[in-house]
Amino acid sequence: MDDIIISDIVRSLNGRDRGRLFIVVGFPKENHVSIANGKQRKIESPKIKKLKHVERVAGSDTRTAQKLRTGEKVTNAELRREIAGLSIESDESDVSMTGGN
């Protein structure tokens, strides 16, 4: 399993939120992560999931990611933008791989 760090984007593998993208905002206890996406799960009340129930999708080196890693305040809108940016990038790469049809 890839090492997951704060600010990584992960996909939920189990539960009602299966398939949704989240950002890691903390590690509350061993083998668990706190995740939020700014919509269903706000930064103020992140979801706690076992590490085995998430998979790392991407790392990030944006300003939002840096703020998370340094402990600065991050808004829900920033989390949503971060995830939307990844979704747009993956959609573009899907189009280029399929020839745009």
Q: What is the pLDDT of residues 35-54, one digit of tens each?
A: 999 999 999 999 999 999 99
The Cα 84–Cα 101 span in angstroms is 22
Sign of CA dihedral 84, 44, 65, 72: positive
Q: What is the pTM of this model?
A: 0.82
Greater confidence (95 vs 70) lies with: 70
- CATH annotation of 9-95: 2.30.30
Helix ranges, 1-101 (H): 63-70, 76-98
Give me the residue spans of the domains in the chain: 9-95
Angle between helices 76-98 and 63-70 (to 10 degrees): 140
